[in-house]
Amino acid sequence: EDLGGQLSGEPVACSMYSGRLDVFAVGADGAAYHKYYADGTWHDYQNLGGDFKLAPMLFGSALPLTTVSWGKNHLDVYGRGADGAIYQKWWNEAKSQWEGWHNLGGQFKGAPVAVCWSPGRVDLFGIGMDDGLYHNYWDVNLNNQKWGGWEPLGGKFKLGYVSVVSQAPGKLDIVGIGMDDGMYHKAWNNGWTDWKPLGGKFSQAPSMVSAGDGFL
């Protein structure tokens, strides 16, 4: 099924409730575009603005945008802007409109990655200009609903992109490709573990999925 559009990067998709699918992609003009499926029908593309012309950047494996839903009718989309900072746009259900783009700062060479471990929580990751991984978070119950700020998680990654999943509330797992082409793993469970080498030799960024608590 042809969904149309003139896109310059791979699309990303997310569902914020059963029967709804939201798709985002960077257009040929560098802006972010949104298309959604609901009530059995695809709706037309909407220009969300922004400047993501450099989003594919240094690595073809890095998706231009990332999207996450942290609850029913709650949807966020993030992108690495042409200035290297991460930007956020979110759906305001009360106003039935998109808000942002909000500049979350930082300087990144790869696209961001977002994950939700429970309703009202978003964890955001990106590869900095020093090749290290950085983390930011938003929690509806913490910091007066403000972002926690970027913290360095160390490591050195050559592909500009990592994969992150949550096995269960309060748990995060990250895998990325190091400078030696090997895969490395780090986890959060009431504290960050050290980076652990998983071996192998890889030329593309990894992907990861969890089937439940204790399964990766």
Residue matched to tokens 């699309």: 11
What is the CB-side half-sphere exposure of residue 173 using CA atoms within 13 A?
20
What is the pLDDT at residue 8?
84
What is the pLDDT at residue 158?
86
What is the pLDDT at residue 159?
78
Decide if 92 contacts 75 (C-beta within 8 A).
no
From first to last of its 216 residues, the chain has per-residue pLDDT tens of 999 998 887 899 999 999 999 999 999 899 999 999 999 999 999 999 999 876 444 554 456 799 999 999 999 999 999 899 999 999 999 999 999 899 999 999 878 999 999 999 999 999 999 999 999 999 999 999 999 999 999 999 987 789 999 999 999 999 999 999 999 999 999 999 999 999 999 998 889 999 999 999
- Say whether 49 sits in a helix, a strand or coil: strand
Residue matched to tokens 């942002």: 100
| Residue 129 amino acid letter | M
Structure tokens at 112: 């961001």
Structure tokens at 145: 């609903």
> Which residues, listed in sequence order, are joined to residue 37 by a DSSP beta bridge?
21, 42
- Work out the number of other CB atoms within 10 angstroms of the CB of residue 153: 17
Decide if 119 contacts 71 (C-beta within 8 A).
yes
Q: Give every CB contact of residue 8 below 8 A, 6+ residues apart in sequence.
A: 26, 27, 28, 30, 53, 55, 56, 64
What is the pLDDT at residue 63?
66
